[in-house]
Structure formats: structure tokens, C-alpha cells
Structure 1
């Protein structure tokens, strides 16, 4: 990623906030020990507080998105390995679906949190304008090349930003009345972001950053509308203690290495992306975990990228148990053990017989342990850094024109994972 994108992303985020920052700070309720009661706030304070809660949700996501750029090439490798010919344009239309649903419900007479359809329309226009202004300013200043090489306006993803702006607008208008609506709305927005990656139009960092900017834009739109039309019926959410989530989703992106036995020359390098869920039953000290992932593996010679073995593609299912240890507010360490079933699903590329070749079993069962520091930034969002090792007793080996190398049954991995608490 272009180095200019990092300070510019932060600058654009800060300049998107309203000028009444001190008024917002005076009404801050997201603290460790105190919380405001809704009936003690004036309409202006409540409006500012709603914006602040949105900013607290969006800012960490923007920061995580910038950091996720370290996985750009890794995710593109997985994409090319598993879905090299993916070409579908649903993301061009799905980005507007939630906005169309919000306007449609209001036109149909379904009451939301706004006083009138004009207040809703003002919020929509202000949010969309904010999103376009912020994303365009970053795009045409950072000048990050798209993964397909077509242009230099990749960072951040405008489609994803529009999708999450739409999801936020729908959730703010009808989420209090229909609690199931925000998860569905943000889920559809996430599918839009996934489509941008699969269509090879955006990097993973572009999509995550765009999601954060979209959430912020939606809250700014309603902040402007509320200041123009008066009070809102939306409910502020408070808590005095850090709630313990019984359910959380996480998306780990990791890089693994398996050394050859008795040799330093060759190693097996794996790239992995997964979607998982963790559930803590009531009164249980342990949580249950499971994830489904996609992987690509290839041989590396001397760690310098000279290895040209075929890329083998695998689908994996990981199930296990873990314990979450809280060190202080917002910071945890999770320790877990799991079993993994790995299934070979194909070979991405092939090379002539004289080139190095990788041989892995059609399926294998392994076990592993993981230690993961976790930071919980908001009530809904966090980040973890998974570090672990896996043991696969099955036979793996690399064959070169000179000899055959056996691989260690132990592999090491590390990476990052975005967490969403439900």
C-alpha cells in the first residue's frame, strides 16, 4: 500500500467529525465506571452522544482496515488459488439494497425513529455526500493500485463504504423496532465487501477501511438530520461494565510455515483465511469454537521465494475449546486447543517435471494449540493476534531434481483476526 494512505486515512477520519467535538466529549458515556441516564440529556446532548457512539464503532474499524493491508497479497493469493475466475457483479447493486429498503419502508408508512420522511431523506443525502467526499479524497490522494491493475483508486473501497452507509442508515431508522435488522443489514454489507475482493477489484484493507468509513458516514448523516429537524426517537445504549459476549464471530487471516526435517533449505508455506464462531454457554468457564477456512500451500526454498512448487488448495474445518482470560478492561488473552480436518480440493498451478513438486495427502487430521492476545475496542468490535502451532502426523514431502525432503509434522502460524461480538 502507498505509504501516503496511512496518514491520509487518519486525517480524513478526523476531518469528517463535526466541529462540536468538545460538546460531544462532554456527553461521553462509554467509560469504565459511569454512564449517563438518557433522561438527563438534552436533545442536543443526545444527538451528539449518538454520533459519538457511531464514531467509537467506526474509528477502530478504520484503523484495523489500515493494518489489514499487511494481508493484501496473502488474500489475493488465496483468491487466485480458489476462485481465479470469479466474475459476478452483484456487489454493484447490493450496496444500495439497505438504503432502498429504508426508503421503501418509510414510503410505505412504517414508522421509524425519525419524525418525518424529510428527516429520513436528509439523513440519507447527508450520509451519502459525506461518504463520497471522504472516500474520494482518500482515493485520489493515496493513489493505491487496484489488485487487477486497472487504476490507482483502490483505497478505500467505495462500494463497501456505500454498503455500510446504507446498512447504518437502515439500522438507525428501524433497528430499535426490529432488533434482528442490524445483523442482517450489516451481513449483506459484508457480502458486498467480500464480492469486491472476489472480483479482484479491492484489497482486504480497502474493504475493512471502507466499512468503517461507511458506518461513520451513516451516523454523521443522522447527526446532521437530527440537528436540523430536532430530537430523535433512537435509543442510546449504555453499560457500566464490559459485557461478556456469549457469541462472537471472527475472521482469522494467518500465515504458516512448516520446516523440512533435518534441513534448512525447504519449508512449506501456507496462507489461510477463515470465518469462525465462538460460543460461551451460560455459566461455563470455557467457550466452544469452530471455523471453516480456505488455504493454499507451496514450497519455499531458503525463505527467499525461489520455490516454484505447485500451489495446493485445501478446505479446513477446525473445532475446539478455549478459555478467555481478562487481564484488564478491553484486553484479554485467549488460550485454546482444537482438532482440524483438512481436505485437498485441487491444485492451482502445475509445473514441468524437473521443477520442485509438493506432495500432500488428500485429507488429514491434526491438532493444535493457540494463544491469542485480544483487544476489545467497542461493545461490538475487537481484534486478536492468533499465534499457534498445529501437528499433522500425515506424510508430507517436497521433491526436487536433487532429492526428496520430508516435512516436519509441526507447523507454526500467526496473523490477525477481526472480531464481532453479538
Structure 2
């Protein structure tokens, strides 16, 4: 019934290349009324098989796995043109993330709100999840005495410490982005301001992530190793667009702006969560020096040539042991540690061991964050890793 409703709508609505606001509203109303999922709409567009149907689908579901497939079908039809320049704000049938009303600018407060729907894997309570059979071996390989560290804080030597982000509105100009790994990146244009904050600063030589949160469309635009191209656009190694209104997984084997194929901003520790709200209610992003040529969903990509069974795969989820006493920690560290018990942290990239990622903020108390170093690998445990994808060729 859901697919039929969408088919009727797509067939009956006169779709012109301009996609006027009336057309958008008709599609929104039909989807809301029938509780149509992205898969339902995809199946309906596929059954019609026309460029108009695929373009209508992409206006409602511009990102994610089914959007990538839709672009493939459009290419077969010879009609994979850029999206309309003046796409209208849409109404989702699903519960939208609470990004509307956020102030604009770099690293602004998001009022302690998490970004994906409530049923996102990032929000899963893993405090009682079973421990992986290989947990001790993997942790020993990392090093049982390696401390936990906050890879974020106030500015240091003129550079942001952490991964910055910027919040923009619907009127932010979209500019072209050229990708080194275009086959695994979401095509632009991207709404990246010319003065967007870059990880490591404008002259940084690290990962140079750029994270752009569009508060009006609830979309997240992320770039890895980004540089201005000198013509008003950007060049980057890879990029991903995330629709925060629904849960998504990249196609198998695809990277994102992060090595594991995951979004970055939803896993960052932010000042507005830790200090203003007093609670981090999602899993946190973290790094390790060595990883395995494997990944655990929702990760979709590995970043290693090694396949030792006692090396951690991308997407591995780690938690702080339930009986670890946090009573002697200051409020900032305690908030983070209690979140590690409930939501854990997800391996997202190769980097320094046990470094938790966060957003920079000049209000961070460095001494308070250093308390995290009292926690070491021996205080952690890896939750059971199911559906692990391993590169069999590397065995």
C-alpha cells in the first residue's frame, strides 16, 4: 500500500525540472500520511523507472544508501544531472533531530542535543551487552596501561584542539567540491563557508576535517583533508552527506570523511553536552594506532593492511567497566566516563591510542580533562562484535 501510494503520487504529479514548492509539498504530505520509508519510496521510483521518478525520490531522500543507488539508475538513463539549485525545505514523516533553532557559526552550542534519531546505533545502551570473546586479547595488543585521553580542549598555539564544526542555514551558498576518491564520496555542491573552521587550523597538516551542520534541512556535510581550490570551491580526499532524519549506513566498502565510513560530528564530545547539559547521550568517536583489515557495522570501511585477529576492527565498540568507580572524578570527567559505561566509544580512525574525539572550545578546563588519564585500557571491555566483515584476501 505504501509503495502504491508513492507510485500514484509520482505518476500523477507533473514533475518539471524546476521542482516547484507545490510538488515538494504534495510529496511530503503523501509520505507523512502513509509513513513511507526510504526503501518504500525507492521501490516505487524503481517500478516507474523514469528520470522524473528518480529525481522526485532524491528530493525527499537526497543522501544515504538508496540515494546512491538512485543516482546509479539515473546515470543508466543518462539523466544524472545536479540537484536543483533551490531545493525547498521538506517535512519528514519521521521524528526530526533537534537541530532547528540552533545558532549559526563555528562550534556553537547545540544545547546538549544528539543528532540522529533516538533508535540510532550511536544512541544504543550497551551497558549490558555481552563481552566479545576476543576482548582481552585485543585490549592486550593495544596495551593495558595505555591511558584514556581527551583529544580536544581550548585553543593551543593558535590552533583548535579537536575537530571543529560550523552550523549554517538554508541560505548558505553551496560550492563545488572536487574529490580524490570520488567513487566513494557523495557528490556536491556542499554548503561550506569560505571561512569554515578546519581541523588543525587553516595551515594544519593533519586530517583537516570540515564539518558543516545545516540546521534547516537537518543535514550534515563532512569533508576529509579539505583545502580551498582557489576558485571559491574546495578540494578534498573524500566527503559524505548525512541526512540526520534517518539512520544510514554507507555502501559496503565505502569510506566517508572518516576512515570507518561513519559520521564524525554525532560522535564528538561537545562542551554543551558535558558542561551545559551534564550528560553525553551517545557513543563517542575514538582512535587507535593499529587496526585490523575488517569492520563491524554500522562501520563500512577498513583502513589497514593487517588482519591479525587480536587487532581491533573499525567500528569496534568499547565501554568502561560497570564497576569502575567514578566518584573521585570532577564533574566534566565523570560525565564522560558515565557515558562510556552506557554508550561506549566506537573506533572510527587510526590515530593515537585511546584518544577520544571532541569539539574545540576555549571554555574546556584542561586539568579537568586530564583526569581521564587515570583510566587505562585494563579498565575497558569490548562488546560482542557481530556481523564483522573481514577481507578474506588478506588472510
TM > 0.5 between the two? no
Give the TM bin, normalised by the shorter chain. Answer: under 0.3
Q: Which has the higher contact order (CA 8 A, sep 6+)?
A: 2
Q: TM-score, normalised by structure 1?
A: 0.26
- Larger strand fraction of residues: 1
- TM-score when normalising by structure 2: 0.28
